[in-house]
Structure 1
């Protein structure tokens, strides 16, 4: 039960540990109306399968609503397991790229190490330094991004760049390093983002109409959900146009990573 504050993403304040007032019987009562009701942040949130793991393992099937111990365990376990599952998703995505074949042994080892942490008991989860785990894994993921981007030589170095509201219509961003870039509200219409590394890029409100994101590295469904696009926006499978785009199609949810790196 993460906290969120009243903003453009959430219509109300909710402290950590308190159920959302729109929750009833483990289901959202306004799920099909989240955007018009002022909760786009809920639409783009993805737990990467952590919720299922915490419920089955950390809580042992107990109901957090009726068990104070289960609720306390969930508060400790969920943020840690979610962060670890996000890393697993990136490792899984990295090994799926043919360009990263040379990293396969290291990716497999990192995947196994992180996955083992996700199954730790609650008291052990509380001791895990997630930032330290990220620090160990990120150089490997950065290298994977470099190998993918090498397919489009000369890509721009824009890691962590402040591109809020940037006018990038028709920009050549092939092979660009956009890791952690802030593209909030940026105009990316008709931009070429093929083979760009968009790990953690903030695409909230970015205009992707007509943009080409074919083979963009580490692009998530959540990032697309937070942006704008249309039928002309090009994506690589299994990603699809989110339902709120001009021509809706079934959005892709990120499931818990199950496939091992080869």
Structure 2
């Protein structure tokens, strides 16, 4: 299934995309796609409603698309999880997953405006596979156990202001990761049965129509299920939490491309998960 949320920020309504031209209103099933919905067996209820044909059709033409999950409790991010990206960043591949956090209010829709922060000189893009939890993950026994806890997958653009992240960080990265609008997400939350193997997905990004990143989740150093298992040994992941699993090579930090400026258009895509298109603008004074 492909779940999505449409409407103005803060007033999105839940939708299931049955086919390209067939969207169904999920309000008979849930008020939103959020932690309570996921933890309470919401995906099974949606699947049953789709199978029985009880959901009304919905015309989504021209509607704003919001992030596919209402504001998550946590956005956990894995740094340098592709060897080639670690190399272009000037670092050795990590021996353990590198964890940092983004503020949950960075999560916006896949076509929303990206705001270049005040004082920014080095705003960068990062296409990433995002994993959304359906159930609590706490002290898991194995990566195999993690698979059953996944609600679905989505595209994240883990935008970064490198000067904030690296030059004035104080040793942590979150300053450069938590600027407003710095996590476009969606358009869909795609359930695992439609995704198949999460380690066999092509990821791509473009800036102003020019190719930047083109890789596969097969190149991850630490796979999706291992990451959830690993994180559960150190923290508790809750339903609705988002895990951004790292970005491949091809970002501006490599020195091969210019950083983002107002007016630039960033597009990201992952096989089976759709595509994003965000226009950059200067933050209002």
Same fold (TM over 0.5): no
TM-score normalised by the chain length of structure 1: 0.26
Higher strand fraction (1 or 2): 2
Q: What TM-score do the two structures reach when normalised by structure 2?
A: 0.25
Choose 1 or 2 for highest CA Rg.
1
Which structure is higher in helix share?
1
